[in-house]
């Protein structure tokens, strides 16, 4: 019995540090974000454009490629595209007519060659006009939800863009973990996220650990003391998206390693 007790004590002495290390719970502040973060759409034409038509509203779900808004340059550029399309159609008709005459030797090869060059030039002009028209349209780059509308018809696009979107079908808690605690955080660990705004805590799984040490963005009760804190962002995929999909940027308390 004494031998068994001695062995048990020795084994417990070996494994107890490992168990203690596994039991470390890392606490931090964080924020709620949709997958990929919040994306501001400013439009291809950049700042200064005026919104002609806004096709979405806050909370609306959009698909990749859906038109969010058209800018004031749209009518002019659409007319230019229509003109170049008509010129291309006319050039093709002339070329086809000359090719038919060519079968009866009523035209020359040089004339047909010149018309073919004209068609090529018309196609290039139409492509350029189509590209310019695209610059007058703001489109969604992904399946997402409209979180905020910053510019409405008649207003200029400012630094905040036209709208902000987020992929709210997958929600994350972005925890700001102190650099001294990051050694205890590993991908796959479970986490608990809580806030007075949540009826019950939400759980999640550590998906990614940031590669850069930076300053804290989410400040707690003592912002002066925390302003210079050095942290690493940890992305936690949440299990219950519905509980937080309308709470982007909500400040939360995070416990990792539960």
DSSP 155: P
Helix axes 74-102, 109-134, angle to 10 degrees: 160
| Arch. (CATH architecture) of 74-134 | Orthogonal Bundle (1.10)
CB atoms under 10 Å from CB of 138, counted, come to 26
pLDDT recorded at residue 103: 63
Nearest alpha carbon to residue 70 among 133, 147, 129, 141? 133
**Pairwise CA distance, residues 124 & 137, whole Å:** 21
**Pairwise CA distance, residues 157 & 152, whole Å:** 9
pLDDT recorded at residue 110: 82
pLDDT in tens, the chain (258 residues): 444 444 444 444 444 454 444 568 999 999 999 999 999 998 776 567 899 999 999 999 999 999 999 999 999 999 999 999 999 999 999 999 888 877 666 567 888 889 999 999 999 999 999 999 999 999 999 999 999 999 999 999 988 999 999 999 999 999 999 999 999 999 999 999 999 999 999 999 999 999 999 988 876 655 555 566 899 999 999 999 999 999 999 999 999 998
pLDDT recorded at residue 222: 58
Q: What are phi and psi of 173, to 5 degrees?
A: -105, 125
Domain with CATH 1.10.287 in the chain: 74-134
Domain with CATH 2.40.30.170 in the chain: 26-37+168-256
Domain with CATH 2.40.50.100 in the chain: 39-72+136-164
Q: What are 196's two structure tokens?
A: 């007075």
**Pairwise CA distance, residues 27 & 234, whole Å:** 12
Pick the CATH number of 39-72+136-164 from 2.40.50.100, 1.25.40.10, 1.10.1740.10, 3.40.50.620: 2.40.50.100
**Pairwise CA distance, residues 145 & 140, whole Å:** 10
Supply the CATH classification number for the domain 26-37+168-256. Answer: 2.40.30.170
What are the angstrom distances between the C-alpha of 54 and each of 65, 137, 164? 15, 10, 13
* Conformation bin of residue 158: beta by default, left when phi > 0, alpha when psi is -120 to 50: beta
**Pairwise CA distance, residues 239 & 172, whole Å:** 9
Length of the chain counted residue by residue: 258
DSSP codes of every residue in 215-227? E-SS--S-HHHHT
**Pairwise CA distance, residues 226 & 234, whole Å:** 18
pTM for the structure as a whole: 0.75
Which residue blocks in the chain are alpha helix, DSSP H? Answer: 2-22, 74-102, 109-134, 223-226
């Amino acid at each position: 019995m004494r031998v068994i007790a001695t062995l048990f004590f020795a084994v417990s002495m070996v494994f107890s540090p490992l168990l203690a290390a596994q039991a470390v719970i890392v606490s931090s502040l964080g924020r709620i974000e949709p997958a990929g973060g919040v994306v501001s759409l400013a439009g291809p034409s950049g700042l200064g454009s005026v919104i002609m038509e806004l096709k979405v509203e806050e909370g609306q779900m959009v698909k990749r490629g859906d038109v969010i808004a058209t800018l004031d340059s749209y009518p002019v550029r659409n007319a230019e595209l229509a003109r170049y399309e008509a010129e291309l159609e006319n050039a093709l008709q002339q070329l086809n007519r000359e090719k038919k005459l060519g079968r009866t030797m009523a035209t020359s090869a040089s004339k047909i060659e010149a018309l073919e060059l004209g068609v090529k030039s018309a196609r290039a002009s139409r492509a350029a006009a189509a590209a310019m028209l695209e610059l007058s349209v703001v489109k969604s780059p992904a399946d997402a939800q409209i979180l905020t509308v910053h510019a409405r018809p008649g207003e200029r696009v400012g630094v905040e863009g036209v709208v902000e979107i987020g992929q709210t079908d997958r929600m994350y808690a972005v925890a700001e973990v102190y650099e001294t605690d990051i050694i205890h955080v590993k991908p796959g660990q479970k986490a608990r996220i809580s806030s007075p705004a949540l009826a019950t805590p939400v759980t999640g799984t550590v998906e990614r650990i940031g590669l850069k040490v930076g300053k804290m963005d989410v400040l707690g009760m003592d912002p002066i003391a925390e302003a210079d804190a050095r942290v690493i962002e940890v992305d936690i995929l949440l299990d219950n998206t519905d509980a937080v999909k309308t709470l982007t940027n909500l400040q939360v308390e995070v416990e990792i390693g539960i």
